[in-house]
Structure 1
Amino acid sequence: MQTSHTTASNATTTVSFTRRLIAVSWKPVMFAALLWLASAAGEIPIPGTPVPITLQTFVVMLAGLMLSWRQAGSAIALYLVAGAAGLPVFAGGASTMALVGPSAGFLIGFLPGVVVTALLKGKAATHAAGFAETALAAIRYFAASTIGCVVVVYAFGFLVQSALTGAPLAAVALASMGFVAGDVVKAVVASLAAAGLAKLGR
């Protein structure tokens, strides 16, 4: 009887652990897949810089705004590990070599950037929140995504690209201003979307 009880207890524990694992891991896996889809959707080249525009930053912003910092960090880490392992998940179907190329700093910067965004976003708007509370949440989200997914990511991107190409840091930054402007717009859209979705989901 004791053996049967122990076996049943172990089975229950295993099922419970599996459910908890699925509950905490499906969102990071989903956002890692969304990052791959965003890079596979296409890229827009910018004259003067070897790094193209994609929707990846937008997905990183959403991950930081909609997930806990652990889940958001796990999503980006999974994406980077997939690319490092040789899967064609980066822009243009690139994989491992992208992590040592001109866009490496931006890709690596996604990880600290998304964690900073998730930590700075504050509390989400509740289902019962009024317009003013939802608007304030969106403003917080915009500030968090701008600091994390623009300032932090671009700091990594500029430094690594300058080091790899030998171009002056100021020249790299100047050539990337088109990216910065586009990502500020993405931060606005991501913040409004995340604030609205958080309100609906609670």
Structure 2
Amino acid sequence: MAIDATGTTLIDRIWPARADGRVMRNIAIVLVGSALMTISAKIQVPFWPVPITMQTYVALMLGAVLGFRLGAASVAAYLAQGAIGLPVFAGGAGLAYLAGPTGGYLLGFLAAAAVTGVLADRGFGRRFVSALAMFLLGNIAIFALGLGWLATLIGVEKAIAGGLVPFLPGEALKVALAMASLPLAWKALSRR
């Protein structure tokens, strides 16, 4: 698997940072990323065996498109907004919500954006195989934190049965979508 480690992310190709406007550009990107996380939390797609939101897809793609710093900052801004009580999460807000059953998954979104962002900064995601690797690792980060926290609340067996197994078909679909969309975006940019 050949990795193109040019040090640029997709956002750098789409919207290059200029020295005189870098701070404003980065603030705008983080705000848009945070808004995308909020929107993705509110939209439920009917699916079997459970409806899915697009939060994991957006968290993975924020890291993959923006890189480590901006991807993680976008998800951190989203989490901070929810922690102070803004209604950005799928089913609640505030610190108590973050401490509830979904809190580990929410922190997992930050870990996923960080993991995929680090890999994107190193050139992953431009080909299907490296995109698959980055998105699988990002998903592992989400479920490791999510299941770890949920297991402390309800036990390991119940956490796996209720917090992993029903979500696997939807996650497979989202990883496939991410794995297809990112390399295609890179390919389209290389043609310009």
User: The TM-score by the shorter chain falls in which range?
Assistant: 0.7 to 0.9
Q: Is the partner of 2:123 in helix, strand or coil? A: coil
Q: Determine the C-alpha separation between the residues in 2 that align with 1:187 and 1:145.
A: 6
* Cα offsets for 1:48-92 (capped at 9, x unmatched): xxx973111111111121111001000000000000111000003
Q: How big is the shift at 1:144?
A: 0.7
Gaps of 5+ in 2: 1-17
Give the TM-score taking structure 2 as reference length: 0.78
Instruction: Say if 2:163 is the partner of 1:169.
Output: no
Gaps of 5+ in 1: 1-15, 126-133
Compare the two structures and name the one with the higher helix fraction. 1
* Cα offsets for 1:111-165 (capped at 9, x unmatched): 112111122244267xxxxxxxx6xx122112111111x111101111111212x
Match of 2:132 in 1: 142
Segments ≥4 residues shifted beyond 6 Å: none
Q: Percent identity?
A: 28
The 1:114–1:17 alpha-carbon spacing in structure 2 relative to 1, beyond 3 Å, is same
Question: For the pair shown, which has the larger CA radius of gyration, 1 or 2?
Answer: 1
The one-letter amino acid paired with 1:194 is: L
Q: Determine the C-alpha separation between the residues in 2 that align with 1:159 and 1:88.
A: 25
Q: Determine the C-alpha separation between the residues in 1 that align with 2:124 and 2:31.
A: 22
Q: How many residues align?
A: 170
Give the TM-score taking structure 1 as reference length: 0.75
Match of 1:119 in 2: 118
